[in-house]
Amino acid sequence: MIRLIRYCIAGALAIVSITSCCTRQNTLTKAEIADGWVLLFDGKTTDGWKNFNSDQPVTGWTVVDGCLQADGSGSDASGYIVTDKTYSNFILSWDWKLSKGGNSGMLYHVVEHPAYDVPYVTGPEYQLIDEPNFPQELEEWQKLGVDYAMYLPDKSKMKVNPYGEWNNSMIVFDNGHVEHWLNGEKILEFEAWTDDWFARKASGKWGNATEYGLSADGVICVQDHGYPASFRNIKIKELPKKPGKTVSLFNGKDLSGWELFGKMNVYVDDEGNLVTENDPSLEYAYLGTREYYKDFDLTLEFKQESNGNSGLFFHSFVNGGYESNIVNGWQCEVAPKGNDTGGIYESYGRGWLVQIPDEKESILNEGQWNTLRLRVEGNNVKTWLNGQPMIELNDELIGSRTGRIMLQIHDGNNIKVKWRNFELTTL
- pLDDT given at position 21: 38
Return the percentage of the chain with pLDDT > 90, whole number: 91
CATH superfamily name and code, 2-238 = Exo-inulinase; domain 1 (2.60.120.560)
* Digit-coded pLDDT (tens) for 50-65: 999 999 889 999 999 9
pLDDT, tens digit, 9 for 90 and up, residues 60-84 = 999 999 999 999 998 989 999 999 9
pLDDT in tens, 180-199: 999 999 999 999 999 999 99
Looking at residue 162, its pLDDT comes to 97
Who has greater pLDDT, 353 or 57? 353
Per-residue confidence (pLDDT) for residue 348, from 0 to 100: 80
Residue-level pLDDT at 414: 86
Residue 123 has pLDDT above 90, yes or no: yes
Boundaries of every domain in the chain: 2-238, 246-426
- Banded pLDDT at 401 (limits 50, 70, 90): very high
pLDDT class of 31 with cuts at 50, 70, 90? very high
- Can you give the pLDDT at residue 307? 83
Give the CATH number of domain 246-426. Answer: 2.60.120.560
The answer to whether domain 2-238 and domain 246-426 are alike in fold is: yes
pLDDT of residue 42: 97
pLDDT for the residue 15: 43
Burial class (CB in 10 A: 0-12, 13-18, 19+), 322: middle
The answer to whether 138 and 130 are in contact (CB under 8 A) is no
What are 139-148's pLDDT values in tens digits? 999 999 999 9
